[in-house]
């Protein structure tokens, strides 16, 4: 046992230092949790990665190669013009005319030796970098490039002999690949269309799953769905929907059979109990008449408990419950029993629940508390989307090992507390059934007051 205890911190440190585990935790925390978002991410993310790789590969292999060759050709033409101007300075006008007619270059010779200040090179500009590299390689003279002269032109200025500046204007498509923008537009436009189609398709696939989830949630809460559920969508979703409908039908049939059986048993037993009451009312001279009447009352209470557990609370519709009025009523009832009960409310006083069922849940927990304690405190507060009600007392409590066992139907402990005075063992089972019928639960823990704390947590 000691070795395992000593090993656990080391394993935890190893997991913390493992980069793969860290990356996994990061993705688990930051990835979307919804099926629609995750499915869309599965489609979009590979598409974006593929297109990014294609762009960089295409830019590196195709555009750069084509731009390099075109820029090298233009640079050779410029170098030829410079050589002619150096060797035949008296024929400058003829050289400029030949460059315009034969090479398609607009050439000007201007006096001076100062070039305009260099402009910042765009990050994604292959032309500026490639053309600059070719000029340095073939001409090796001070130069200036303006690739923003116009959408279709590029200007290059070079210092010829320290006294003159040569200005050469050429078409952009002669220096670089001209289909880059069209390629990007088609690529990203096609991607946008595919993403829109994926969103529409996924929404159609997610709707049947959401409908199944709503139907299952309504059935779990014991509510009737707003609209009847019909399986639709993909084959797998239809199979899950049909399995849910069959399961719901079997459960409803079992509940109806159980309720019908207990109702019949209750009717027969109540008939016998009525006869007992009549006989007890006639037999005035019998001894222990009061104890027999109490036995009959206990049997009636037991039958009520059985029927309440069998029926559940599914037949009641949702409505608004005034919590402050319920808590005030509990304070008055506790005072009649000579107990001290204090309440606290934090949040809206009205909640949307099944009023009778929820009132019975809180009342039963409070009754159970003051039956075994002198001081009880009930606190209701809103925590996010949930209503949390805690019932604390200073009684003997329930040992931790038995706190889950006491929620089982018909489970009884001599030392355990029970909600029903008759001791049917259904009190806590009914309480949890009501809470779970609201989509929540009831749990037991130690109370700060020294006794037992019952915590009800239901969504509102």
One-character DSSP codes across 415-427 = SS--S-TT--S-H
pLDDT tier at 196 (50, 70, 90 boundaries)? confident
Name the CATH architecture for the domain at 312-459: 2-Layer Sandwich (3.30)
For residue 325, the SS3 value is: helix
Residue 94: alpha-carbon gap to chain centroid: 75
pLDDT confidence bin for 124, thresholds 50/70/90:
low
Q: Grade residue 146 by pLDDT with cuts at 50, 70 and 90.
A: confident
Written as six digits, the tokens of 109 are 């010779």
Q: Which two tokens stand for residue 126?
A: 């292959």
Q: What pLDDT score does 454 carry?
A: 92
User: Collapsing DSSP states into helix, strand and coil, what is residue 111?
Assistant: strand
Per-residue confidence band for 7, with pLDDT thresholds at 50, 70 and 90: very low
Model pTM above 0.75:
no
The conformational region for residue 349 under phi > 0 = left, psi -120 to 50 = alpha, else beta, is: alpha
Asked if 313 contacts 222 with a C-beta cutoff of 8 angstroms, the reply is: yes
Domains of the chain, by residue range, sit at 1-30, 235-294, 312-459
Q: What is the mean pLDDT of residues 397-402?
A: 86
Answer yes or no: is pLDDT of 6 > 50.
no
Q: What angle do CA 373, 375, 377 make, to 5 degrees?
A: 115
User: pLDDT by residue (tens digit) across 203-255?
Assistant: 888 888 888 888 888 787 666 777 788 888 888 889 999 998 999 888 888 87
What percent of the chain has a predicted confidence (pLDDT) above 70?
83
> Taking a C-beta distance cutoff of 8 angstroms, is the pair 391, 419 a contact?
no
- The C-alpha atoms of residue 101 and residue 104 are separated, in whole angstroms, by 6
Helix (H) or strand (E) holding 312: none
Q: Output the pLDDT for position 380.
A: 92
Decide if pLDDT at 278 tops 50: yes
Parallel/antiparallel/unpaired status of strands 153-159 and 350-353:
unpaired
Q: What is the percentage of the chain residues whose pLDDT exceeds 90?
A: 9
306 to 270, 420, 422, 429, 450: CA distances (angstroms):
13, 11, 11, 11, 32
Instruction: State the distance between the two ends of the chain, measured CA to CA, in whole angstroms.
Output: 45
What's the rounded Cα separation, in Å, for the pair 159 and 151?
25
45: pLDDT confidence band, cut at 50, 70 and 90? confident
Going by C-alpha positions, the residue among 351, 352, 444 that lies closest to residue 390 is 444
**What pLDDT score was predicted for residue 272?**
78
pLDDT of residue 243: 92
């Amino acid at each position: 046992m000691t070795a395992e205890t000593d090993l656990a911190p080391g394993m935890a440190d190893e997991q913390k230092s493992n980069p793969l585990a860290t990356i996994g935790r990061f993705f688990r925390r930051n990835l979307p949790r919804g099926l629609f978002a995750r499915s869309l991410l599965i489609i979009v993310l590979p598409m974006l990665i593929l297109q990014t790789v294609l762009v960089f590969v295409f830019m590196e292999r195709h555009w750069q190669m084509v731009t390099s060759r075109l820029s090298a050709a233009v640079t050779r033409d410029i170098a030829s013009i410079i050589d002619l101007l150096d060797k035949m300075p008296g024929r400058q006008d003829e050289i400029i005319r030949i460059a315009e007619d034969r090479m398609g270059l607009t050439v000007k010779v201007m006096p001076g030796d100062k070039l305009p200040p260099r402009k910042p090179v765009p990050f994604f500009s292959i032309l500026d970098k490639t053309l600059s590299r070719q000029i340095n390689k073939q001409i090796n003279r001070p130069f200036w490039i303006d690739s923003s002269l116009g959408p279709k032109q590029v200007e290059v200025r070079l210092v010829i002999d320290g006294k003159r500046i040569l200005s050469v204007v050429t078409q952009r498509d002669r220096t670089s690949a001209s289909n880059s923008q069209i390629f990007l537009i088609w690529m990203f436009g096609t991607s946008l269309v595919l993403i829109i189609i994926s969103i529409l398709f996924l929404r159609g696939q997610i709707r049947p799953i959401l409908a199944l989830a709503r139907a299952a949630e309504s059935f779990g809460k014991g509510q009737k769905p707003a609209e009847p559920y019909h399986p639709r969508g993909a084959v797998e979703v239809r199979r899950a929907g049909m399995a849910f409908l069959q399961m719901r039908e079997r459960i409803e049939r079992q509940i109806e059979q159980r309720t019908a059986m207990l109702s019949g048993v209750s009717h027969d037993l109540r008939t016998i109990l009525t006869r007992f009451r009549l006989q007890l009312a006639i037999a005035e001279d019998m001894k222990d008449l009061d104890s027999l009447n109490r036995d009959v009352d206990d049997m009636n209470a037991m039958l009520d408990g059985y029927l309440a557990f069998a029926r559940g609370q599914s037949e009641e519709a949702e409505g608004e419950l005034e919590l402050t009025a319920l808590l005030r009523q509990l304070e008055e009832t506790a005072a009649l029993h000579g107990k001290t009960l204090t309440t606290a409310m934090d949040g809206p006083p009205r909640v949307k629940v099944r009023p009778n069922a929820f009132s019975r849940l809180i009342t039963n927990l409070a009754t159970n508390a003051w039956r075994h304690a002198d001081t009880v405190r009930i606190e209701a507060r809103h925590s996010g989307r949930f209503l949390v009600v805690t019932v604390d007392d200073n009684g003997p409590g329930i040992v931790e090992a038995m706190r889950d066992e006491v929620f089982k139907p018909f489970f009884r402990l001599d030392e355990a507390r029970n909600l029903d005075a008759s001791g049917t063992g259904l009190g806590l089972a009914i309480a949890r059934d009501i809470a779970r019928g609201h989509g929540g639960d009831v749990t037991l823990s130690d109370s700060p007051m020294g006794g037992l704390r019952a915590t009800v947590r239901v969504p509102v």
